[in-house]
Amino acid sequence: MKNVLFIFLIYCFSFTIISCSRSSDGGSSTTSTTTDNDTTTDNDTTSPIIVVVYPVTTPTSDPSPDYTFSSTKEGTITYGGSCSSGTTSATSGNNTITFLTLSDGTYIDCTITVTDSAGNVSNTLEITSFTVDTTPTRTYYDLDGITFGNNTFVAVGESGIVRTSSDNGSSWDNGTSGTTREIYEIAFGDSTFVSVGRSGTNLYSIDNGSTWSSGTTTETSHYYGVANGDNIFVAVGNVNILKSTDNGSNWTTITTNNLNDVTFGNSTFVGCGVDGSIYTSANGSSWTSRTSGASANFLYGITFGNNLFLSVGSAGKLIKSTDNGSSWSNVNSQVSTNLYSIAYGNNIFVAVGSKTVIASTDNTGSTFGIKENTLTFNDVTFGNGVFVAVANDEIIYTSTDGDSWTKVYP
């Protein structure tokens, strides 16, 4: 009997322990799960952090530029200031957005923030200022020649460029040459502008350089100089001398010669060129070689003024003729740099070249002084009381005295 009672007590004790154990495990599991879930939901207070990765390139010609930033959390993008985008969701990591179309201008107030699903707002990312400029990039060409006529300055040059000014060089308009070949020089006469250039290019304009027509010639060599006198245009180049009696419409080959420039004065054409060559002609058809005394130099430019012919060239060469080009004497230019062009006006001679501007002290062309040693000009002319000089990159300067120069274009 005692054994039976003992066994029954052991059974009851074991059953109690097992029941308590099961009850304890189950309660603990349920309580733990509920507690963890409540903690995850109630305590998410971490805000996203956003930083720039790739800013907008400035200036940009794209009216809808891209911008890349990174975020530490997913969320909704909010835009501030003048910029916005159709992209409104951010992912964790790098995000590239494209701004909606922007007008030309500078943008300094654009911002971005990201708000995560728990409502936490990121730092405000201020977008570095940038400029949108959709204006086509302007290409500037070299200007080689300029002249004055009919109250208008007309300049010509690289790729057939033409620039005109009817207000003494203060402002400049575009002409349409109809060619992409380089135009080296231009002259005016008989109400017509005539220009010559590369590969036999020859053009004429009767509307002050606005539009141009092509003259007729069989020549294909380069022409560097042109002048008008006594109803005749003469063009000179590296092979031949040409003549036109109908204002540049048709050209006749006259003779073989290698000249860089030509001018007209006192009923005489005078041309200058390689190895100090000088040629003169009374009618543009018959030409006579003259001794210049400058055989060691290239002569690049020539002009007429106050009954004098003056020519300039390499290494500062400057020579003068008082007898219509028949004989020549040296003049001290005061420089050793190349001189490319010379013009007469306001009772002085002004010559330009490589980082050089010189001017005579009077109208005799005997004494010169250095006026400028930083500017390089390809050609110079005079009209309406103003000297106008042209250079590479369409640079144009004006001066009334050859001493003080003002940049007027571009």
- The residue among 365, 363, 364, 358 whose CA lies nearest residue 389 is 358
Architecture of domain 50-132: Sandwich (2.60)
Residue 35 has pLDDT above 60, yes or no: no
Question: Taking residues 203-226, what's their average pLDDT?
Answer: 96
Res 39 pLDDT > 70: no
Residue 216 has pLDDT above 60, yes or no: yes
Task: Choose which CATH entry (3.40.50.720, 2.40.50.140, 2.120.10.30, 2.130.10.10) describes domain 143-409.
Answer: 2.130.10.10
| pLDDT over 60 at 5, yes or no | no
pLDDT value at residue 17: 37
Domain with CATH 2.60.40 in the chain: 50-132
Residues ≥6 apart with Cβ < 8 Å to 5: none
In 3D space, the residue among 239, 143, 240, 130 whose CA is nearest the CA of residue 195 turns out to be 143
> Between 18 and 81, whose confidence is greater?
81
| pLDDT the model gives residue 18 | 39
Question: Is the pLDDT confidence value at 10 over 90?
Answer: no
Distance CA 62, CA 389 (A): 38
Ranking 131-145, 201-215, 256-270 by mean pLDDT, the lowest is: 131-145
Give the mean model confidence (pLDDT) for residues 47-71. Answer: 95
- Residue-wise DSSP of 245-280: SSTTSB-EEEEE--EEEEEEETTEEEEEEGGG-EEE
pLDDT digits (tens, 9 = 90+) for 356-382: 999 999 999 999 999 999 999 999 999
Query: Which pLDDT value is given to residue 36?
Result: 42
pTM score above 0.75: no
**Whether the predicted pLDDT of 3 surpasses 70:** no
Q: Residues 75-92: pLDDT tens digits? A: 999 999 999 999 999 999
Which of 323, 388, 349 lies closest to 164 in space, CA to CA? Answer: 388
User: CB of 356 within 8 A of CB of 370?
Assistant: yes
Paired with 322 in beta bridges are none
Q: Is 194 left (phi over 0), alpha (psi -120 to 50) or beta?
A: beta
pLDDT exceeds 50 at position 7 = no
User: Considering the chain, what percentage of its residues have pLDDT values greater than 70?
Assistant: 90
pLDDT at 1 over 50: no
Rounded Cα–Cα distance for residues 376 and 355 (Å): 4
Mean pLDDT over residues 308-315, rounded? 98
Residues of the chain within CATH 2.130.10.10 domain(s) are: 143-409
What is residue 139's predicted lDDT score, i.e. its pLDDT? Answer: 84
